């Protein structure tokens, strides 16, 4: 584990060395130890918490909502052909829209508080989840379905006991894409217009010239995104122990 992460430590040492050695001006790249100290001060004095809380609430609300709705809709589309023929063209239409471009519209509709960010994250995460759930549920091995039906599984049970579990690997990998997308949309929407949140805080600090603090916030966001992805990866492995990954 340590040797795997050694390159990152080397980068950090390089950062520290270059700035301490005077090769880079501290305004351009503040020394890492000072950034870390700022970060600790942020945490201890509690200035970071309201922003972290606002960001996490927006991300969690939009993301979880899209997981629930997206999985349901995707599986529903696989189950009911009429729903599929209704939704598929709409998905094809909305798929190429970069969801960041919707931020100004949601700002017009919902203001610059929590609601517009949650809506943007929800919309952005929805489509990859729907598509992967749909393809997962559609792509179940027909032999499995035939054997189950032959053995007397009812149609309802078939969906819950066979098709949803068999689609789970696809659903979970779609959700993983959505997870990293949710952080991108969160940060972008907070930079564009907000009064709280990590994205807002990093831009505000940058514009006021507090670069050490800004780097501390940027590192927080990077760590947050990475930690969420790792945690999700763990969860995926646990849910799919029965599946050949």
Partner 1 sequence: MVRLRRTLSNSYSVLLLFLVWEGISRAGLVHPFLLPAPTAICLKLVHLLVHGDLGQHLIVSLWRTGLSFIVAVAIAVPLGLAMAHIRLVRWFCEPIIAVGFPTPKIVFLQILILWFGFQDLPKIVMAAVEGIFPIVSATYLGALGVDRYLLWSARSMGTAGSRLLWKVTLPATLPQIMSGVQIALPICFIVIFVTEMLMGGGGLGDAMMLAQRFADSEGVFVGIVMVSALGYAAMRGVACLRHALLRWHPETQEWHA
Point out which residues bind partner 1 (CB under 8 A).
Answer: 4-8, 10-11, 27-28, 85-87, 89-90, 93, 96-98, 100-105, 107-109, 179-180, 183-184, 186-188, 191-192, 198-199, 202-203, 206, 211, 214-215, 218, 221-222, 225-226, 228-229
Q: At 122, list the tokens.
A: 């929800």
Burial of 173 (0-12, 13-18, 19+ CB in 10 A): middle
Is the Cβ–Cβ distance between 78 and 189 less than 8 Å? no
Residue 22: CB minimum distance to partner 1, A:
17
Residue 182: CB minimum distance to partner 1, A:
9
Say how many CA atoms lie within 13 Å of 180 toward its Cβ: 11
Residue with smaller CB distance to partner 1, 33 or 144: 33
Residue 98: CB minimum distance to partner 1, A:
4
Residue with smaller CB distance to partner 1, 115 or 148: 115
φ, ψ of residue 153 to 5 degrees: the values are -75, 135
Residue with smaller CB distance to partner 1, 102 or 164: 102
Residue with smaller CB distance to partner 1, 103 or 162: 103
Q: d(Cα 77, Cα 137) in Å, to the nearest integer?
A: 9
Residue 7: CB minimum distance to partner 1, A:
5
Is the Cβ–Cβ distance between 174 and 132 less than 8 Å? yes
């Amino acid at each position: 584990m340590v040797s795997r992460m050694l390159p990152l430590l080397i980068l950090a040492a390089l950062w520290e060395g270059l700035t301490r050695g005077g090769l880079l001006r501290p305004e351009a790249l503040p020394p890492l130890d000072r950034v870390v100290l700022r970060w600790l001060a942020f945490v201890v004095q509690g200035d970071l918490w309201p922003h972290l809380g606002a960001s996490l609430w927006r991300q969690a609300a939009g993301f979880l909502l899209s997981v629930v709705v997206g999985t349901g809709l995707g599986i529903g589309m696989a189950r009911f052909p009429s729903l599929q023929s209704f939704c598929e063209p709409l998905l094809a239409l909305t798929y190429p829209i970069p969801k960041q471009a919707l931020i100004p519209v949601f700002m017009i509709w919902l203001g610059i508080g929590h609601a517009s960010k949650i809506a943007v994250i929800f919309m952005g995460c929805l489509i990859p989840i729907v598509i992967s759930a749909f393809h997962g549920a559609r792509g179940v091995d027909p032999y499995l379905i035939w054997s189950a039906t032959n053995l007397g599984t009812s149609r309802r049970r078939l969906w819950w006991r066979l098709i949803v579990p068999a689609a789970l690997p696809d659903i979970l990998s779609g959700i993983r894409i959505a997870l990293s997308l949710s952080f991108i949309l969160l940060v972008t929407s907070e930079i564009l217009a907000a009064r709280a949140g990590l994205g807002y805080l990093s831009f505000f600090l940058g514009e006021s010239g507090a670069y050490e603090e800004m780097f501390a916030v940027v590192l927080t966001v990077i760590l947050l995104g990475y930690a969420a992805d790792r945690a999700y990866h763990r969860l995926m492995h646990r849910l799919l122990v029965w599946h050949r990954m």
